[in-house]
Chains A and B, each alone.
Chain A
Amino acid sequence: MAGYIIETAKGKWEVVVGLEIHCQIISKSKIFSGASTEFGDDPNTNVSFVDAGFPGMLPVLNEECVHQAVKTGLGLNAKINKYSEFSRKNYFYADMPTDYQITQFRYPIVGEGEIDIDLSDGATKKIGIERMHIEQDAGKSIHDLSPTKSYIDLNRAGVGLMEIVTKPDFRSPEEAGAFLRKLRSILRYLGTCDGNMDEGSMRCDVNVSVRPYGSDELRTRCEMKNVNSVKFVMQAIENEAKRHVEVYENGGTIAQETRQFDPTTGHTKVMRKKEFAHDYRYFPEPDLPPLVLDDDYINSVKAEMIELPDAKKHRFVETLGLTPYDAMVLCENKETADFFEKAASGHDAKKVANWMMGDFFAMLNKKRLDIAQSPVSAENLGALVELISKDVISGKIAKDVFEIMSETGKNPEQIVEEKGLKQVTDTKAIEAIIETVIASNADNVAAYKSGKTNLAGWFVGQVIKMSQGKANPAIVNKLVRERLDK
């Protein structure tokens, strides 16, 4: 897209953004213990002695989390590092029971990669992935239950996380938003993270700086922690960038600091200045040997990879003739894409796509249903399109049929049959109706004949009305004109 430029009376500025996204790994048990990762259980019920940091307890790496990370790395078109190491990040906090986090520092499991993002003008842009590493999550501190006490829930402590770090490749809030949507889509396709930002299973830190438009310098950045929706990320970038511009234009300097985004105001405020930044004293985790993966293992994970949204989108455009926009929307989540493919199988794919983008999504929205709960099955949607293609019903009748389908879940053939909605294409039957209409509207026939030829449309309408909408409009149109011009 054309550059996102912040223009003031004094000059033009460009925004430079990088993201760090924490994604909770979908796995049955935690990354270093056997405790369950179930979300929403009673506080402190899914906690092992390892998670609670008891004396003498040792972490044991959960192979399932490694597998999920490798899968994700492949989904990000990234290099899988055969050698990676765990490190300890040391800091004291009540919801971090060992008072250090086991993470990866110098040697992450996944190296550089890139993904395409889709922009609103139809263009795509490549966003670089710097690295991805795996680590453990902290527990939750609850500060609002008592005026004098804090409560700790360790159910989340030790759940596996993948931290994805992008290159500072974003030049607008829109690009960052598009990236998050694409990333979420890939993770959900892979089944490695459910990507629910509002539940915290995907959390985003945003690094923002600005520079004079056209320059390639990198100025001091500020980091905003845990921004928890795509909308807020975009808003945070926009407002933080404006703040930087204002500071620079008033002759000030930006200090490197951690800031907090306030969703109620849309603005950011200082959380921690650089001089109070933690010294995390990273060092290699002596309780875990380095993680070494061989080619056979990586290849076996590669063999499990499924078609991801971009590849699917291209296929829908190339072989099914969809517009890039329709293809992008239909591919954003796998269930929708699968539904579409099932519905389109053997039918007119473009028409199926139109129906999905229109009435079908509108129906789901109205009923607040997931696609998995849709009363209209993929097969039935395909069958409906087929009835239109074969002129069995008109597009107009089809809308009524769809309405019934979404209420009853019945298949369209049955509905058309039961309600007698089959389109009349029999010219004899249509001609008979035309005769009736002409006979009872002699004055309009005379007016037509005297030159008011636009009355033809009125006659067509009357005929279709009399057929209760079942007469094929094209045939009616042709026959009406022939009859009037006779």
Chain B
Amino acid sequence: MSDITKLTIAQALDGLKRKEFTATELTSAYIKNMENGRHYNAYITECADKAMIQAQNADKRYSEGTNRALEGIPLGIKDLFCTKDIRTTAASHILDNFVPPYESTVTANLLDDGAVFLGKLNLDEFAMGGSNETSYFGPVINPWSKDKNLVPGGSSGGSAAAVAAHLCAGATGTDTGGSIREPAAFCGITGIKPTYGRCSRYGIVAFASSLDQAGPIAQDVTDCALLLNSMAGFDEKDSTSCKVETPDFTSFLSGNVKGLVIGLPKEYRPEGLNDEVAKYWDKAAEMLKSRGAIVKEISLPHTKYALATYYVLAPAEASSNLARYDGIRYGFRAVADGEHLDELYIKTRSLGFGKEVKRRIMIGTYVLSAGYYDAYYLKAQKMRRLIQNDFIEAFKECDVILTPTSPITAFPIGDESMLQNPINMYLNDVFTVSVNLAGLPAMSLPIGLAENGLPLAMQLIGKPFDEATIFKVASKLEADAGFERK
């Protein structure tokens, strides 16, 4: 039999239904890959034993004919999703002993559909980072690395690397400023950040509540649709989740793009944009044009303020969301009995959080403090509104927006310019953060290889709750690009 871990989820489901192989065989094959692929450092916690029990249960279901939508599909879960009785660390020392007594809604949905959980995937600490280098558990290695070890992107770096290296059939990710799309791009696979409110945030360790959104990372567009079908849905436990129907996203894959208007924002083509990125962008537009879509230049005039806006608002919310990690009730505590409460806070948080997390807590605390609130937080909120309005105006002229996902390809782990100046790292988010600020759905899918042999990706941005159009356009772009995955 050929390697069943190379199958997409759609193909694997097919094979399971036809009894070409069992769920136990499939899970075992992935567990073997995980063992052989530990050098990628994609998993923080492996759950082989639990996974095998789930797989056996799936086989029972198949034999009884009660198999569910994702029955027996082995998934990796970003270690930001709380999983009942499975350690959930957020890749932080401060939570490295935390075992949640509850299940996040998104992972509960996946379990309810029969998915098998192989383990918890590495990420940037508290999802803060664009390279997976801020993880307390060490960096993840991009499977595309050749002579030098490359970053997988972040923050869902473990998810993207695991999917690209076939250490799981698909994975969950979260995206606050590009954390699904950038690693998907760097690893040559596909990921979608749905509309804010499409997936419940209940049980996901919060980074920036008004921006965080869960989504799938998978081999291809179809697999993303299959996973999102299961992950999405209104949840009364999350007051920001929306009461909207969850359509069958796979039903849009066969659609036609003829007559659709594809917007290309001129602000995403700044002076000095990498030639290869620009070239692939034009090529993608051409592909859609030749299928009958109309390509149109649009304007998102406040784009240049997006990054600054994001790096005020996200840390502000984070500084408050992360206050609860104080060593009192759970997690790491660095103090001896009898010491003062303030000592407990200072020691626990100084030792428990990594450098980047502390940097963002300090930025966030600063922008919310008396005397600076109006100049930073309030101004950023106003700018966020303007950025949202940009998209509202743009979508009067087009149906979907096409942009590159990242201005660069994966870079080496420990890159000096990134580490010495965090701004250089933040600049990689330039094409992705606006989408979070506006709460829109956006997908990243590979478009081709750069001259350095590394994947480049395109981003499709849709109207609120119009993931349908994204899937429709993405399926065509995917077919025309003919990208060869790892």
- Supposing A52-B329, A55-B88, A55-B95 touch, asked if A287 and B320 sit within 8 A by C-beta, the answer is no
Interface status of B337 (Cβ within 8 A of chain A): yes
Chain A neighbourhood of B90, CB < 8 A: 55
Interface of A is mostly: loop
Q: How far does the alpha carbon of A286 sit from the alpha carbon of B341 in the complex, in Å?
A: 28
Do B202 and A56 have beta carbons less than 8 Å apart? yes
A152 to B326, CA, bound (A): 14
Q: Please, which residue of chain B has its CB at the minimum distance from the CB of A95?
A: B328
Residues of B within 8 A of A148 (CB): 337-338
Within residues 188 to 224 of chain B, which ones have a CB less than 8 A from any CB in chain A?
A: 201-206, 208-210
Using known A-B contacts A94-B328, A99-B323, determine if residue A56 contacts B203 with beta carbons closer than 8 Å: yes
B-binding segment of A58-66, A229-237, A430-438: A58-66
With A49-B101, A281-B365, A287-B209 known to touch, is A59 a contact of B329 (CB < 8 Å)?
Answer: no
A58 lies within 8 A of B201 (CB): yes
- Whether B370 contacts A98 by the Cβ 8 Å rule is no
Are A99 and B326 in contact, CB atoms less than 8 angstroms apart?
Answer: yes
Q: Mark A87-122, 1 if CB is under 8 A from B, else 0.
A: 010101110011110000000000000000000000
Candidates A56, A90, A282, A288; contact of B239 at CB < 8 Å: A288
B125 to chain A, nearest CB (A): 13
Interface centre among A53, A56, A97, A279, by most chain B C-beta atoms within 10 angstroms, is A56
Confirm or deny: B236 has a beta carbon within 8 angstroms of a beta carbon on chain A. Answer: yes
**Which chain A residue lies CB-closest to B323?**
A99
**For chain B residues 71-105, which have a beta carbon within 8 Å of chain A?**
81-82, 88, 90, 95, 98, 100-102, 104
Chain B residue with minimal CB distance to A60? B239
Q: Which residues of A contact B238 (CB under 8 A)?
A: 58
Decide if A321 is an interface residue (CB 8 Å cutoff): no
Does B146 count as interface, using CB distance less than 8 angstroms?
A: no
Count of residues in B whose CB is under 8 Å from the partner chain: 44
B209 touches A56 (CB 8 A): no
Q: Which residues of chain A are within 8 angstroms of B101 by Cβ–Cβ distance? A: 49
Q: Does A283 contact B (CB under 8 A)?
A: yes
Interface string of A201-245 (1 = CB under 8 A from B): 000000000000000000000000000000000000000000000
Task: State whether B237 touches A60 (Cβ < 8 A).
Answer: yes
* B95 and A279 form a contact (CB under 8 A): no
Residues of A with C-beta under 8 A to B210: 286
Residues on B with beta carbons closer than 8 Å to the beta carbon of A428: none
B323–A55 CB distance below 8 A: no
Closest A residue to B377 by beta carbon equals A283
Instruction: Judge whether B483 is part of the interface by a CB distance below 8 angstroms.
Output: no
Interchain CB contact under 8 A, B204 and A56: yes
Q: How far is the CB of B329 from chain A (nearest CB, A)?
A: 6
CB–CB B341/A150 < 8 A:
yes
Q: Is A54 an interface residue (CB 8 A)?
A: yes
Count of chain A residues with a beta carbon within 8 Å of a chain B beta carbon: 32
Cβ contact of B240, chosen from A49, A98, A279, A289, cutoff 8 A? A289
Chain B residues within 8 Å of A88, by CB: 320
**B400-440 CB contact bits vs A (8 Å, 1 = yes)?**
00000000000000000000000000000000000000000
Query: Within the assembled complex, what's the spacing in Å between the Cα atoms of A279 and B366?
Result: 11
Of the listed residues A54, A281, A288, the one surrounded by the most CB atoms of chain B closer than 10 A to its CB is A281
CA distance A97 to B328 in the complex (A): 8
Taking a contact as CB atoms under 8 Å apart, the answer to whether A53 and B202 are in contact is: no
Indicate if the CB atoms of B369 and A279 lie closer than 8 Å.
Answer: yes
Q: Is A149 positioned at the interface, with any CB of B under 8 Å from its CB?
A: yes
Instruction: Enumerate B368-413 residues with CB–CB distance to A below 8 Å.
Output: 368-370, 373, 377
Q: Which of A145-197 contact B (CB under 8 A)?
A: 148-150, 152
Cβ of A58 and Cβ of B317 under 8 Å apart?
A: no
- Please pick, from B206, B240, B324, B368, the residue contacting A281 in the complex, using a CB distance under 8 A: B368
Residue pairs across A and B with Cβ atoms less than 8 A apart, 10 shown, are: A55-B98, A56-B100, A59-B239, A90-B319, A90-B368, A97-B324, A150-B341, A152-B328, A286-B210, A287-B206
Closest 5 CB pairs of A and B: A99-B323, A286-B209, A281-B368, A286-B210, A148-B338
- Residues of A in contact with B (beta carbons under 8 Å apart): 49, 52-61, 88, 90, 92-94, 97-100, 148-150, 152, 279, 281-283, 286-289
Known: A90-B320, A93-B341, A287-B209. 14 other contacts (CB 8 A): A53-B324, A54-B100, A55-B90, A55-B98, A55-B206, A55-B324, A58-B238, A58-B239, A59-B239, A60-B236, A98-B323, A100-B320, A281-B319, A283-B373
